[in-house]
A and B are shown apart, each in its own frame.
Chain A
Amino acid sequence: MIAKGVKFIPNSVKLWMRASDLEEDDVNKSRVLRKGLECVPNSVRLWKAVVELANEEDARLLLHRAVECCPLHVELWLALARLETYDNAKIVLNKAPARLPKEATIWITMAKLEEANGNTDKVGKRIQKALQEGGVVIDREAWMKEAEAAERGGSVETCRAIIKNTIGIGVEEEDRKRTWVADAEECEKKILLRLPELYMIML
């Protein structure tokens, strides 16, 4: 039935996924997905599924194709960068902003990549570039979250660079002191439980 289905409606991602699910082993699953991609090359879902089944080397090659076909999906770029060597990752990531000028994540990943390779001086530049050239439109809070995520992932320099460059965004001159102290206290997890949360705990 499914085999018939994909013949009649070759553009249905759902059917391709289902067809691959019905296969027993990974090789066949993957073959079905690849066939699917021939018909629907811009399906992120199919790309992700096929990459998941592949070994590292194949995944790398697949992702190179994937970013060509779906250049607007930041996760694919990042997944590819993770599988590449430092130099290749850089090449990959350098191509990404042209396609995805508004994705902060790409720039942040580039900053982390530089930090991991000991190029501390370039970390700040990446973040600045995100703000200047990329026209990245995420707000202060989202940047803060990225900074905290960078800290948690061990990219301390990236965390610092993000804060340094973004902490003043959209804050009125006279509010700066108060806002920043509040931000820092929140990071220190000095946020307090509010009444509903306290109630929940008491239940």
Chain B
Amino acid sequence: MREKDSIETARAIYDHALNVFLTKKSIWIKAAQLERSHGTRESVDNLLRRAVTYIPHVEVLWLMLAKEKWLAGEVPAARALLQEAYAAIPNSEELWLAAFKLEFENHEPERARMLLAKARDQIGGTERVWMKSAIVERELGNVEEERRMLNEGLKQFPSFYKLWLMLGQLEERLAKTAKRQDQPEKRHSHMMTAKKAYESGQENCPNSVPLWLSLANLEEEMNGLSKVRVILTMARKKNPQNPELWLAAIKAELKQGYKKEADTLMAKALQECPNCGILWAASIEMAPHPQRKTKSKDALKNCNSDPHVIAAAAKLLWHNRKVEKARTLLNTAMTLAPDIGDFWALCYKLELQHGTEENQKDVLKRCVAAEPKHGEKWQAVSKALENAHQPMASILKKVVKYTSEG
């Protein structure tokens, strides 16, 4: 499928379109993305340079330009660009956060911390600035400071669920440390505090699914399946038609070996969300092998070719040794949802086993350009503290490794 693309033609079209629509940011962004996927560093740089000359007030173009510099290893140049951008767009929160990220990801936590303090000073603490402030402290291991930042932030923004989530995670981390040090009481007290954080979070943001899921996880560890069932039932009542909550409930049953209960839940889930791709994809994988093909077709029809279903169908084909077909389907899934890292990992794994070195490089390059952020397995790896500051390529490889281990 990929060998037939006509990149020069696409480039010529954007070129012409940009001559006509010199100030349309969406075309600049698309043209830049084309160069990022298929061009060279120089071609991306040239294009974005032109873009910020014509529309200097558009943050995202500056951010892309600075990011390219950073990816090329030119951190000082990236820094200079962000300053140039800040002169064009004063008081931009995005630019403050980008400057922070640049320092933070390049192992300059002190500079990063200083930037955030300045940002809190100049544009006032926005919710994201508070969150990033807590993240720096977490990285530096300053538990008290981290907690202080989270609480300060929550005073102003109690409905920003991520701060509650971080507060709960902070306590869970301390509970784990206590466990390692064989201090069961201390562990219990941190777990209780974590629970309280999630519960307070819920009162303030009852529709935050991640908070419900974290609470369910914690309860599973503390009190077992029966409590998880209660929590997730309540969660579903407050958030009807939410596939993630259903899926969590199904997985909790499967984990304990309750296949029948899981199937019943899945049937109910599909009744409530009949067009939901992640549920259908999971139901394909839950079906006994001989039925999976029929199930895949049903799924494709029911959710109008959802990328999750397409990826599940690709897995099935791969399993049946139809590698070429599996590759075509995975590429479709990746095109439909470039943001989901799990698909990239799956495709990379397929190329590692069956593709040429060139295929592998191609997937890697496209993945780096797409910068996926979502996906169950992807996030499990990318959000793990020990993987902070890892480049896209190594996250991809870790996800492949992680999924190979089951």
Partners in one complex: yes
Question: Contacts A188-B10, A202-B297 known; A164 to B26 CB distance under 8 Å?
Answer: no
Encoded as 1 (CB less than 8 Å from any B CB) or 0, chain A from 151 to 173 comes to: 11000100110111001100000
Q: Which of B11-19, B149-157, B197-205 contacts A (4 or more CB under 8 A)?
A: B11-19
Is the Cβ of B12 less than 8 Å from the Cβ of A164?
A: yes
Chain A residues within an 8 Å CB radius of B332: 192-193, 198
Residue in B closest to A181 when the chains form the complex, CB atoms: B30
Bound-state CA distance A165–B4 (Å) is 23
- Per a CB cutoff under 8 Å, which of B38, B300, B335 touches A198? B300
Is the Cβ of A188 less than 8 Å from the Cβ of B34?
A: yes
Chain B residues within an 8 Å CB radius of A176: 17, 20-21
Question: Contacts A167-B16, A198-B300, A202-B296 known; A160 to B8 CB distance under 8 Å?
Answer: yes
Is the Cβ of B10 less than 8 Å from the Cβ of A187?
A: yes
Measured between C-beta atoms, what is the minimum distance from A128 to chain B in Å?
A: 14
Measured between C-beta atoms, what is the minimum distance from B306 to chain A in Å?
A: 11
Bound-state CA distance A151–B11 (Å) is 11
Residue in B closest to A189 when the chains form the complex, CB atoms: B5
Measured between C-beta atoms, what is the minimum distance from A109 to chain B in Å?
A: 18
Q: Is the interface of B mostly helix, strand, loop or mixed?
A: helix
Q: What is the interface residue range for chain A against chain B?
A: 20 to 34
Encoded as 1 (CB less than 8 Å from any A CB) or 0, chain B from 104 to 125 comes to: 0000000000000000000000
Is the Cβ of A147 less than 8 Å from the Cβ of B317?
A: no
Is the Cβ of B16 less than 8 Å from the Cβ of A180?
A: yes
Measured between C-beta atoms, what is the minimum distance from B24 to chain A in Å?
A: 6
Measured between C-beta atoms, what is the minimum distance from A182 to chain B in Å?
A: 10
Is the Cβ of A184 less than 8 Å from the Cβ of B329?
A: no
- Chain B: how many interface residues by the 8 Å CB criterion? 41
Question: Contacts A180-B17, A181-B30 known; A188 to B5 CB distance under 8 Å?
Answer: yes
Chain B residues within an 8 Å CB radius of A195: 300-301, 304-305
Is the Cβ of A163 less than 8 Å from the Cβ of B6?
A: no
Question: A199 contacts the other chain (Cβ, under 8 Å)?
Answer: yes
Residue in A closest to B34 when the chains form the complex, CB atoms: A188
- Chain B contacts with A in 135-170, Cβ cutoff 8 A: none
- Chain A contacts with B in 140-157, Cβ cutoff 8 A: 144, 147-148, 151-152, 156
Question: A190 contacts the other chain (Cβ, under 8 Å)?
Answer: yes
Measured between C-beta atoms, what is the minimum distance from A39 to chain B in Å?
A: 45
Is the Cβ of B15 less than 8 Å from the Cβ of A160?
A: yes
Is the Cβ of B1 less than 8 Å from the Cβ of A189?
A: yes
Question: A84 contacts the other chain (Cβ, under 8 Å)?
Answer: no
Bound-state CA distance A159–B332 (Å) is 27
Chain B residues within an 8 Å CB radius of A168: 16
Is the Cβ of A194 less than 8 Å from the Cβ of B305?
A: yes
Question: B50 contacts the other chain (Cβ, under 8 Å)?
Answer: no
Is the Cβ of B9 less than 8 Å from the Cβ of A198?
A: no
Is the Cβ of A184 less than 8 Å from the Cβ of B17?
A: yes
Measured between C-beta atoms, what is the minimum distance from B340 to chain A in Å?
A: 15
Question: B313 contacts the other chain (Cβ, under 8 Å)?
Answer: yes
Residue in A closest to B31 when the chains form the complex, CB atoms: A184
Is the Cβ of A177 less than 8 Å from the Cβ of B336?
A: no
Chain B residues within an 8 Å CB radius of A190: 335
- Chain B contacts with A in 21-41, Cβ cutoff 8 A: 21, 24, 26-27, 30-31, 34, 37-38
Question: Contacts A181-B27, A189-B5 known; A147 to B21 CB distance under 8 Å?
Answer: no
Chain B residues within an 8 Å CB radius of A202: 293, 296-297, 300, 313, 317
Question: B397 contacts the other chain (Cβ, under 8 Å)?
Answer: no
Chain B residues within an 8 Å CB radius of A194: 305
Give the one of B9, B37, B305, B325 with max A CB within 10 A. B9
Is the Cβ of A198 less than 8 Å from the Cβ of B34?
A: no
Question: B379 contacts the other chain (Cβ, under 8 Å)?
Answer: no
Chain A residues within an 8 Å CB radius of B293: 202
Bound-state CA distance A139–B16 (Å) is 18
Residues of B participating in the A interface, judged by any CB pair closer than 8 Å = 1-2, 4-10, 12-17, 20-21, 24, 26-27, 30-31, 34, 37-38, 293, 296-297, 300-301, 304-305, 310, 313, 317, 325, 328-329, 332, 335-336
Question: 5 A-B residue contacts at CB 8 Å?
Answer: A177-B21, A187-B9, A187-B10, A188-B7, A201-B329
Known A156-B8, A184-B31, A188-B37; further 12 A-B contacts with Cβ < 8 A: A147-B9, A148-B6, A151-B8, A159-B9, A167-B17, A177-B27, A180-B27, A184-B13, A184-B30, A185-B10, A189-B1, A198-B329
Residues of A participating in the B interface, judged by any CB pair closer than 8 Å = 144, 147-148, 151-152, 156, 159-160, 162-164, 167-168, 176-177, 180-181, 183-185, 187-190, 192-195, 198-199, 201-202
Nearest 8 CB-CB pairings of A with B: A187-B10, A163-B12, A189-B5, A148-B6, A187-B6, A184-B13, A151-B8, A180-B17
